A and B are shown apart, each in its own frame.
Chain A
Amino acid sequence: MNNFQLLIQGFGTAFSFANIIAVFLGGILGLFVGAMPGLGGVSGVALLLPLTFKMNPTTAIIFLAAIYYGNMYGGAYSAILLNIPGDSPAVMTALDGFPMSTQGRAGKALFAANTSSFLGGSFGILTLTIFGPLLAIFGLKFGPAEVTMLILLALTSIGWLLGEHIGKGLIAASIGMLLSIIGIDNMSGGMPRYIFGMPSLLGGISFVPIVIGMFGITQVMELMEPSESESIVTGRRLTLRESILNKKDLKRMAAPIIKGAVLGNVIGFLPGAGGTTASFLAYVFHKKTSKFGEEMGKGAIDGVCVSEAANNSAAVGAFAPLLSLGIPGSSTAVVLYGGLMMWGLTPGPLLFTEQPQFVWGLIASMYIGNVACFLLGTGIIPFLMSILKIPKKIMIPVIITVCMVGSYAINNSMFDVWFMFGSGVAAYLLKKNDYPIPPILLAFVLAPMFEQSIRRAFTISQGSPLIFIQKPISAFLLAIIVALLVLPALINRIKTSRKSIGTEEK
């Protein structure tokens, strides 16, 4: 039987009453959990895991999977409306989504995010259906050396987001890197690093308090500055009818969605890369290759589309290595892996042959779940848009409360609440001095992955850096990094010398 015949059989499983309820309920919870700052995919799936104890294994995994990709939809909502990314991949969505909101185009941003999430997710599911097991094997070729180069490529690309003050942007990225290595070093036998005698730092700094502080609290502090506006929106607010995507919008959205979906999917298949790397690389790639690149970061619809398509495509892509090889591609996939094991389903190559009903039922449920999340997400847009109508005088204390609860809930720690306020003040002062904030957060997310893979690579090669050149994929990625670093300077130099020759000839 080919994959499509198996998929049709899978729809038979997925269309059972219990599974349909699981998909819709999981989708709703996922949207909610994703939109709540402080919860996000991993904690959402982990927190809701006990709800599945009385379900049968297939229904339970379908439910958890629906929470997982529903969460990817929801992460964009708080990023667009409040400038508080619900989870780390949504950081890139906030860059353009929130400026769109302040310009009165929140509805358009939400519709664009939903459509891109749906199309990115659909592309991911289709690829998983056709090439899943094959692509998972390709993903296996990405060992520590290759992942190191991929993350290094992402870290190098932060340079493209630095804006006018390159030095300040680099400093910002480095701050993120420094913060990311605080805490226990698991690769050195649990040695604490940079904790300066504070036991609260042993577990490291969580992403959630930092992102809430640097986006949410900074936003609130800016709103508290004297201004005449009564609401967050500074421009004319579009009506719901005006917010519906028109032909022109859809035409402009096509390219970023395609780029995001393809890049996101490929990165999703790689163990350890994840949705954040996917949305970030896709964003930077589109910024560099699109004629609208200059507008990105200032409220361009492209930015929302490319990052949402990428993170949803990557979320689905992560199922390929999980199901076919038993390798969780992201932290949420680790929780799902635990769930599978709990129900006696051992992920790996044999899962497709021994449990075809389960695997194809799950894949079929993703088609249904993706449509369900799209419909649910689109259905709540009018309600979400009305959030921005709430006066600033109410929004500010409510946002602070949500920020405090979200920061506490991630580790049940008051330290995180204090850290959130501290990072908010620091980000506010840095922003006032033209330091960009996104590089701090992106470096913070990418640096631990980089450290883990580079140290593993050196351990495998017994300290020889040649490992990065000897492996073809790694060498190829290294060549791209070198080209990216050298080419812009070289092109500038050639341009300058041509100009000077031209002036001399005149």
Chain B
Amino acid sequence: MDGVIVLIELVVASIWIMQGFTYGFWKKGRPGGGFLGVIFGVLILIIALVMGIRMLIKRDFGKKIKLHITAFFPIFMGGGAAILSYLVGFIIALFAFLVGWLRFISKYSWTKTLLISVLFTLGLYAIFVMWLRVPFPTGVF
């Protein structure tokens, strides 16, 4: 995995350096828009190269990490809620997310699930919508 990360870093650093030069490294006797982008990019490039060369010499490309699919549930479910928010609105999508999670992942009873979801969503609505007037997406319906 370390090897992959180093490769990504090399690519990102190269892009930042090249783009940085297009914004201007030094213009009219002072730093241009790409000044720090180039410097930071070069810094990453050097470190990533040193790490990469070390890996090649030692033939050690980092430990193999075990990823649990369950760890990504928050991303799948949260991402699903974010997509749903375009259709039904943010607050309703969050309510649906809470219901879905508590019922099907946490395995709570419907009563407990609905009680927690309704109370929490109402709290969010009171604070963010009614008091702070945050304009959450309302969906297409």
Residues of A at under 8 Å CB distance from B? 47, 167-168, 170-171, 174-175, 177-178, 181, 185, 187-188, 191, 193-194, 217, 220-222, 224-226, 393-394, 396-398, 400-401, 403-405, 408-409, 412, 414, 417-418, 421, 424-425, 428-430, 432-433, 435, 447, 450-451, 454-455, 458-459, 462-463
Contacts and interface: CB of A to CB of B under 8 A. Distances in A.
A393 B106 contact: yes
Contact of B82 (A398, A417, A447): A417
Contacts of A424: 74-75
Contacts of A459: 30
Given A224-B68, A393-B105, 8 more contacts: A174-B43, A178-B12, A188-B27, A400-B78, A401-B120, A425-B75, A433-B65, A447-B36
Contact of A414 (B44, B82, B120): B82
A193 B134 contact: no
Taking each of A185, A187, A224, A397, which has the highest tally of chain B beta carbons within 10 Å of its own beta carbon?
A397
B98 A191 contact: no
Interface in B21-46: 23-24, 26-27, 29-37, 40-41, 43-44
20 contacts: A171-B51, A174-B13, A178-B40, A185-B33, A187-B33, A193-B34, A226-B68, A400-B101, A401-B98, A405-B94, A418-B82, A425-B75, A433-B2, A435-B5, A450-B36, A451-B35, A451-B36, A454-B31, A454-B35, A458-B30
A165 B43 CA distance: 16
Interface in B52-76: 62-63, 65, 67-68, 70-75
Interface of B: 1-2, 5, 9, 12-13, 16, 19, 23-24, 26-27, 29-37, 40-41, 43-44, 47-48, 50-51, 62-63, 65, 67-68, 70-75, 77-79, 81-82, 85-86, 90, 94, 97-98, 101-102, 105-108, 116, 120, 124, 128, 132, 134-137
A201 to B, nearest CB: 13
Nearest to A463: B29
A221 B75 contact: yes
Taking each of A224, A398, A424, A428, which has the highest tally of chain B beta carbons within 10 Å of its own beta carbon?
A224
Nearest to A391: B106
B-side binding surface: helix, strand, loop or mixed?
helix
Contacts of A168: 51
Contacts of A409: 128, 132, 134
Contacts of B30: 455, 458-459, 462-463
Contacts of A167: 47, 50-51
Cβ-closest 9 pairs across A and B: A463-B29, A393-B106, A397-B101, A188-B33, A177-B40, A185-B33, A174-B44, A221-B71, A458-B30
A400 B37 contact: no
B82 A404 contact: yes
B74 A408 contact: no
Contacts of A220: 74
Taking each of B1, B75, B128, B137, which has the highest tally of chain A beta carbons within 10 Å of its own beta carbon?
B75
B48 A191 contact: no
Taking each of B74, B86, B102, which has the highest tally of chain A beta carbons within 10 Å of its own beta carbon?
B74
A451 B32 CA distance: 11
Contacts, number: 166
Contact of A170 (B26, B47, B65): B47
A135 B54 CA distance: 50
Given A188-B33, A194-B19, A454-B31, A421 B75 contact: yes
A177 B37 CA distance: 8
Contacts of A430: 5
B125 to A, nearest CB: 10
B26 to A, nearest CB: 8
A181 B40 contact: yes
A424 B73 CA distance: 12
A483 B40 CA distance: 22
A425 B76 CA distance: 11
Contact of A404 (B36, B94, B135): B94
Nearest to B43: A174
Contacts of B68: 224-226
A435 B8 CA distance: 14
Nearest to B2: A433
Contacts of B75: 217, 221, 421, 424-425
Given A178-B12, A221-B74, A412-B134, A432 B23 contact: no
B21 to A, nearest CB: 12
A47 B70 CA distance: 38
Given A401-B97, A401-B98, A414-B85, A193 B41 contact: no
A137 B125 CA distance: 46
A365 B20 CA distance: 49
A29 to B, nearest CB: 10
